[in-house]
Amino acid sequence: METSDESLRDFASRPWAEIERLKHRYWADLDLAPADRLRVADELRRYTLSLRPDWPDDVAREADLETHIRIARQLFMTGDGYR
């Protein structure tokens, strides 16, 4: 498939902010059971791995762990955390 300058301009000029807003709204309004949400998350993880088999790298894993620890601490301090 050959791309022309016009098709590239059309692609670049899409209303990306609106598209992003609609995506967020779609997922927020979607009424999924917890098991279905986990299934969707796993499908997205598998898809990402098919594109980037090296994902996540050590840096991303460390950042993810730091985020989990920070959120766990915040939940604990609210009194709603695990005891």
Tens of pLDDT, residue by residue over 14-71, are 999 999 999 999 988 999 999 999 999 999 999 999 999 999 999 999 999 999 999 9
Q: Please list, residue by residue across 9-47, b when 16 or more beta carbons sit within 10 angstroms of its beta carbon and e when fewer do.
A: eeeeeeeeeeeeeeeeeeeeeeeeeeeeeeeeeeeeeee
Instruction: Determine the pLDDT at residue 38.
Output: 95
Instruction: Determine the pLDDT at residue 3.
Output: 76
Instruction: Determine the pLDDT at residue 35.
Output: 95
Instruction: Determine the pLDDT at residue 79.
Output: 78
